[in-house]
Amino acid sequence: MLLSMTGFGKSVVEIPNKKITVEIKSLNSKQLDLSARVPAAYREKELEMRNHIAHRLERGKVDLCVHVETIVTETPATLNIPLMAQYKKQIEAMSQELSIPMLEDWYSVLLRMPEVMKTDNANTLSDEESAALLKAVDEAVESLMQFRREEGKKLEEFFTQRIDNIRARLSEVPQYEGERVAKIRTRIEEGLAKIKEIDYDKSRLEQEMIYYIEKLDVNEEKQRLTQHLNYFIETMNDTHGQGKKLGFISQEMGREINTLGSKSNHAEMQKLVVRMKDELEQIKEQVLNVM
């Protein structure tokens, strides 16, 4: 079964006071290229998240985005009243020493002073939140893998159709081979007939024509191309990492099709070769998306 390198996965996990959203998308790449946008509070878990993703996705240009949202209705922050009392005492002492008027609006001034609001371990990642984060990552990865499997099915159908089209064009080649040989023979004989001053040995001409026609024989190319087409289908059914192998097979298919074209020496055969090349180019483009 084929897997595509293109995919998208998303997961949302909620704990009593937070909602964690993880989004992962991937595109084709020769190796794993992972970039991550993670809140500062989750930096300590970034390496573990990367390992989870690398183990499952293996290849592709992968973008990871983690977003956390506080969903509690009460504020988790409290006033640091002892610190505010210290600020007030110092301001009063400053007012007396510098002979400046005392403040009238203490609330607005004290609430703007540094660290007068304190939170309960805002930067500490609890075990519950850590587990929820990794759960969200795993679920997002599984969602992306499901996307890859669905895209892989589409690719498999696409490749099968293209291979069948090449096979169909290849099956049309034999009908032109006999005609091609007759045309080559006629063209050579007509050319010699125009040279009236030269007498030639017809038996030697026959030998030379046989040699010439054998050089244009395409049976080996047809056999090898058929083998490559079969091998491509077999490789699609492998369980793991078919992308690079399919790329190599498509290159070999291209060599046989090119040789077939150079030997064809027949307009209709060359049209078949062009159509086969068109199908092969479509295969090569999409093979880049296969794991």
Structural domain includes residue 199: yes
Question: Do 219 and 92 fall within a single domain?
Answer: no
Question: Do 219 and 259 fall within a single domain?
Answer: yes
Structural domain includes residue 2: no
The per-residue pLDDT for range 222-280, each reduced to its tens digit, is 999 999 999 999 999 876 778 889 999 999 999 999 999 888 878 888 999 999 999 99
Question: Do 13 and 108 fall within a single domain?
Answer: no
The per-residue pLDDT for range 118-146, each reduced to its tens digit, is 665 555 678 899 999 999 999 999 999 99
Domain, as residue range, for 93: 77-119
Structural domain includes residue 133: yes
The per-residue pLDDT for range 68-118, each reduced to its tens digit, is 887 765 555 678 888 889 988 998 898 888 888 888 888 888 888 887 876
Question: Do 131 and 55 fall within a single domain?
Answer: yes
CATH code, domain carrying 41: 3.30.230
Nearest to 144 by CA among 67, 64, 66: 64
Total structural domains within the chain: 3
Question: Do 242 and 273 fall within a single domain?
Answer: yes
